[in-house]
Structure 1
Amino acid sequence: MEIRVLRYFLMVAREENITKAAELLHITQPTLSRQLMQLEEELGKKLFQRTNHSIRLTEDGMLLRRRAQEIVQLADKTEMEFKTGEEELSGSIAIGSGEANSVQEFAEIIGRFQKKYPQVQYDLYTANADDIKERLDKGILDIGLLTEPVDIGKYNFLRLKGKEKWGILARRDSELAQKSAVRPQDLMDVPVFLAQRPLVRNELEGWFGEYYDQIHVAGTYNLINNVAVMVENKIGVAFCFQLQNRFDNLKYIPLSPEVETGAVIVWKKAQTMNRTMRQFINFMREYQEKERHTL
Structure 2
Amino acid sequence: MVRKDHKLASNKFIYPEEIKKESVIISKNKLIQNEFANWMGIPMEKLNVGATFTLVYNAAMMVKNGMGMAVCLKLENNFEDLKFIPFYKAAISKTILAWKPCLKYSVATEKFIKFIEEKRNATNF
TM-score interval w.r.t. the shorter chain? Answer: 0.7 to 0.9
Task: Please name the residue that 1:207 is paired with.
Answer: 39
* 249-258 vs 203-212, greater mean Cα deviation: 203-212
Which of 113, 118, 121 aligns to 1:287? It is: 118
Q: Is the 8 A contact 1:245 1:251 kept in 2?
A: no
1:209 is displaced (CA, Å) by: 0.5
Which of 194, 198, 208 aligns to 2:30? It is: 198
1:264 is displaced (CA, Å) by: 4.6
Question: Once the two structures are superposed, what CA deviation does each residue of 1:17-51 show, in whole Å capped at 9, x if it has no partner?
Answer: xxxxxxxxxxxxxxxxxxxxxxxxxxxxxxxxxxx
Residues of 2 paired with 1:202 and 1:253: CA distance?
21
Could you say if the C-alpha distance between residues 280 and 242 of structure 1 is closer, same or farther in structure 2, counting changes exceeding 3 Å? closer
Identify unmatched segments of 5+ residues in structure 1. Answer: 1-168
User: What is the one-letter code of the residue matched to 1:194?
Assistant: I
Q: Which is bigger in relative contact order (C-alpha 8 A, separation at least 6)?
A: 2
Equivalent pairs: percent with the same residue?
Answer: 26
Q: Is the 8 A contact 1:185 1:211 kept in 2?
A: no
Larger helix share, 1 or 2: 1
TM superposition score normalised by structure 2? 0.77
User: What is the one-letter code of the residue matched to 1:250?
Assistant: L
1:210 is displaced (CA, Å) by: 3.5
Residues of 2 paired with 1:217 and 1:289: CA distance?
36
RMSD: 3.2
Identify unmatched segments of 5+ residues in structure 2. Answer: none
1:287 is displaced (CA, Å) by: 2.8
Larger strand share, 1 or 2: 1
Bigger Rg over Cα: 1
Could you say if the C-alpha distance between residues 237 and 281 of structure 1 is closer, same or farther in structure 2, counting changes exceeding 3 Å? closer
Q: Is the 8 A contact 2:25 2:68 kept in 1?
A: yes
Question: Once the two structures are superposed, what CA deviation does each residue of 1:46-91 show, in whole Å capped at 9, x if it has no partner?
Answer: xxxxxxxxxxxxxxxxxxxxxxxxxxxxxxxxxxxxxxxxxxxxxx
Question: Once the two structures are superposed, what CA deviation does each residue of 1:170-196 show, in whole Å capped at 9, x if it has no partner?
Answer: 011111111111111112331111111
Task: Please name the residue that 2:104 is paired with.
Answer: 273
Could you say if the C-alpha distance between residues 197 and 213 of structure 1 is closer, same or farther in structure 2, counting changes exceeding 3 Å? closer
